[in-house]
Amino acid sequence: MPQSRGSTRREFIKVAMAAAVAPTLGFATQAAEKLSLELPPLPYAYDALEPYIDAETMRLHHQKHHAAYITGLAKAVEQAPELRRKTLEELLLSLSSLPESVRTAVRNHGGGHYNHSLFWQCLAPKAQASPEGPLAAAIARDFGSFDSFKESFTKQAMAIFGSGWAWLVWDAGKLRVETTPNQDTPLGVRKKPILGLDLWEHAYYLRYQWRRAEYIAAFWHVVNWPAVAALFHNLVQRA
């Protein structure tokens, strides 16, 4: 349709002109800022995951713990404003090339921001018990069955000494369970987490105290499998 081609071309010219003009208007710095230092809102209410994860834990975890990682990362950005030109994922993938003065802060606070942002997305009230479609098929292929995946994930989550995370990661074409200490992420050039479980005591101590096994069992009731499947789908499409 000639008319729509014409309008597409006009749109293109408009965008191209805006890009050419922007630097002279002083927009260059803003356009280059890719790092988000905003606390992402939870996609559900604080009490939505009751009785599995209690409202008070969710509120403190989101408003205090996650927010503190963002504050920590923002302090690093004050010292090294060039950090803003990369996405959080790009920063975490290039830790070794960051200035030494901010490297640990980005690893810990940037990692905390990344891990928690993913964690909230992986949870949902009234969740379905297991995934469907291509993700279910890939879990069956790489773990034998959904139950053996859950068993492996639970075992590794239980084995974390101190604070850390358990993950389901897509690693160069294969799903694997992994753990990381502290706020380290499992990110790699061809590796991305699609499901994470926070095993810091702040994630469960109010309700479960030392009973980590009960917290892990409760977690399976609130996994947002459609969200995990969407992350999986994006990775498979990019591969």
Mapped onto helix, strand or coil, the DSSP state of residue 197 is: strand
Distance CA(199)–CA(220), nearest Å, equals: 14
Residue 176 CA: distances (Å) to CA of 57, 110, 158: 29, 23, 16
Piece in contact with Mn ion (CB under 5 A), picked from 40-48, 89-97, 184-192, 196-204: 196-204
In the list 76, 198, 199, 232, the residue contacting Mn ion (rule: CB under 5 A) is 198
Piece in contact with Mn ion (CB under 5 A), picked from 25-33, 44-52, 192-200, 211-219: 192-200
Residue with smaller CB distance to Mn ion, 216 or 229: 216
Residue 58 in contact with residue 47, Cβ under 8 Å?
A: yes
Distance CA(226)–CA(122), nearest Å, equals: 9
Distance CA(150)–CA(167), nearest Å, equals: 11
CB 190 to Mn ion: min, Å:
26
Distance CA(219)–CA(123), nearest Å, equals: 8
CB 60 to Mn ion: min, Å:
10
Residue with smaller CB distance to Mn ion, 170 or 200: 200
- 165 touching Mn ion, by CB under 5 A: no
Site for Mn ion in 20-79 (CB under 5 A): 65
CB 198 to Mn ion: min, Å:
4
Site residues for Mn ion per CB under 5 A: 65, 198, 200, 203
